[in-house]
Chain A
């Protein structure tokens, strides 16, 4: 029984490559590979690989890159090449290494930019989305507390008015009902604030819809209410909209892993 010298996995007799790590066992081939080190990667100014012009793999242009092809080696599985970078073996007609993306034939361009700039970019996006979702949660809590405060103010004003003059019972009842609706609305926002921890998208979207409805209905009851605190309203709507967008982005697998397990 033979063992791969690199990864210690069990291999059969006469095998030219390790099936697990791609290590070459033919001594002369190995030497040959080491003597011809891979050329330095060409400068890759393009940061977005997808926006690059595609070069048809069937007719690679010789001017596109300076990568030299690794030699073809005959093995039990047929003619194969070994990737010069990660030493994974591949069939002869394969254009690129499936493990690291290195070109395996003459004149093919390198597709994917090297370096960690990409990863740090993703991380910063992730941080931005998380921050936005967090601030939209805070905004929902602020709306809930403001709603409760407005109900309290309404109650105090009603009590003061009742002490000064007589108010018919129907009107008082109507005011109490309005207060009840307001308190309930605050409760809904508080529940949405907690729900946003588990399901940020559903909760922020619902909060945004209810808040917009609230604003429009209040304007219909009393048009002056639109101007009252319009700055706060616009800020809250923008924060909520950003929160919905960010959590929607998480649902599409953008900006790293989702903030909550789903």
Chain B
């Protein structure tokens, strides 16, 4: 509360009666409570509240993963309609979780000067990101000699046009993943464990929820970049635009079979 805002001084507040007391005393001179015990009790209450929040994040993550996995399993592998249904269910779940934490999410959609400068930074970082992406994935394909499943081909087989591809592979993930991972999960982890842990854990969850085990390291890196943008601009717009543009370029390259090694 007020303790966090006040500059460090020789005076602190009694944890029980909130009167100003000397920092060095063991017992409050006005109410006589042992400060150690009072602080311990306060710490226990804070701990229980934060533990509930942490459990909430873990449960939310597992439900998100389980529903998308279940829909994919129903479709026996990656099929386009399953993908669409899965992204719709994810959007519903995430918007429900966002409504529960609406205070945290709505404050991230504001616009100011800082946001525009970070949108510019995001667009500038697009080029190195795409180069790293292509080098990483093509290198892995060379090493492991695996054939990549092209999702755009699946869309073409299902007779769905470019509009559907852009909607379900670029727009939906960009918006909902940003709200879920950068908006809520990073915010909550930052509150619970600090800013650095917030970025690291949201990136970890972002990387492993894609269930693409070869791209885990690239996705972790992408998560770090997006988390950094969200942290510095305290807005979701730079992340959403970068994520959308990144996915769009990857899809376009895939569509036209553009690659570095040929």
Interface residues of A (CB under 8 A from B): 48-50, 54, 57, 90, 94-101, 103, 108, 110-112, 118, 170, 173-174, 177, 180-181, 201-202, 205-206, 208-210, 212-213, 216-217, 219-220, 223, 244-245, 248-249, 251-254
The answer to whether A217 touches B51, judged by C-beta atoms less than 8 angstroms apart, is no
Q: Is the CB of B65 within 8 A of A253?
A: no
Q: Nearest Cβ distance between residue A200 and chain B, in whole angstroms? A: 13
Contacts of A249 in B (CB 8 A): 47
The A-contacting residues of B in range 35-80, CB under 8 angstroms, are: 37-41, 43-44, 46-47, 50-51, 54, 58, 61-62, 65-66, 69-70, 72-73
Given the interface pairs A112-B32, A220-B69, A252-B47, the reply to whether A99 lies near B26 with Cβ below 8 Å is yes
In angstroms, Cα B29 to Cα A100, docked, is 10
User: Do A248 and B51 have beta carbons less than 8 Å apart?
Assistant: yes
Q: A98-B21, A111-B27 are in contact. List 5 more A-B contacts (CB 8 A).
A: A48-B41, A94-B29, A97-B29, A219-B69, A223-B73
Q: Verify A212–B58 contact, CB threshold 8 A.
A: yes
Q: A209 with B204: in contact, given A49-B34, A111-B32, A216-B62 (CB under 8 Å)?
A: yes
Residues of the B chain whose Cβ atoms lie less than 8 Å from the Cβ of A205: 201
Nearest B residue to A91 via CB reads B29
Whether B47 and A212, one on each chain, are in contact in the complex, defined by CB atoms closer than 8 angstroms, is: no
* B33 neighbours in A (Cβ, 8 Å): 49-50, 101, 111-112
Total interface residues on B, CB under 8 Å, equals 48
29 interchain pairs, CB-CB under 8 A: A49-B37, A50-B33, A50-B37, A94-B29, A95-B30, A96-B27, A98-B22, A98-B26, A98-B28, A99-B25, A100-B26, A103-B32, A112-B34, A118-B37, A173-B144, A173-B145, A180-B144, A209-B61, A212-B62, A212-B65, A216-B66, A216-B69, A219-B69, A220-B70, A223-B73, A244-B54, A252-B50, A254-B40, A254-B47
B139-162 CB mask vs A (1 if < 8 Å, else 0) is 000001111000000000000000
**Listed residue (B31, B41, B201) with the most chain A CB atoms within 10 angstroms of its CB:** B31
B16 interface contact, C-beta 8 A: yes
What's the least CB distance linking A55 to chain B, in Å? 8
Which of the residues B29, B40, B72 comes within 8 Å of A96, measured between beta carbons? B29
B147 to chain A, nearest CB (A): 8
- What residues of chain A lie closer than 8 Å to B146, measured between beta carbons? 173-174, 177
Kindly state the separation between the CA atoms of A201 and B44 in the bound complex, as whole angstroms: 17
In whole Å, how far is A70's beta carbon from the nearest beta carbon of chain B?
14
Contacts of B58 in A (CB 8 A): 208-209, 212
User: Would B27 and A252 count as touching, CB distance under 8 A?
Assistant: no
Please classify the interface of chain B as helix (H, G, I), strand (E, B), loop, or mixed, using the class held by over half of its residues: helix
Contact, CB under 8 Å: B211 / A217: yes
**A209-B43 Cα distance, complex, nearest whole Å:** 25
B contact residues vs A (CB 8 Å cutoff): 16-17, 21-22, 25-34, 37-41, 43-44, 46-47, 50-51, 54, 58, 61-62, 65-66, 69-70, 72-73, 144-147, 193, 197, 201, 204-205, 208-209, 211, 213
A202 and B197 within 8 A (CB): yes
How long is the Cα–Cα vector from A202 to B194 in the complex, in angstroms? 12
Residue in B31, B43, B69 whose beta carbon sits within 8 Å of that of A95 in the complex: B31
From known contacts A49-B33, A217-B211, A220-B69, infer whether A253 and B40 are also in contact, taking CB-CB under 8 Å: yes
Question: Are A213's CB and B17's CB within 8 A?
Answer: no
Known A54-B17, A252-B46; contact A213-B65, beta-carbon cutoff 8 A: yes
Chain A neighbourhood of B39, CB < 8 A: 253
Instruction: Specify which of A48, A96, A174, A206 lies most central, judged by the most chain B CB atoms within 10 Å of its CB.
Output: A96
Q: Closest CB-CB distance, A184 to chain B, in whole Å?
A: 8
Which chain B residue has the least Cβ–Cβ distance from A184? Answer: B213
Complex Cα distance, B145 from A99, in Å, reads 73
Of B17, B37, B204, the most chain A CB neighbours within 10 A belong to B37
Q: Provide the residues of chain B in CB contact with A209, threshold 8 Å.
A: 58, 61, 204-205, 208
Nearest B residue to A118 via CB reads B37
Q: Give A103 to B30 CA distance when docked, in angstroms.
A: 10
Contact B31 A96 (CB under 8 A): yes
**For residue A103, which residue of chain B has the nearest CB?**
B32
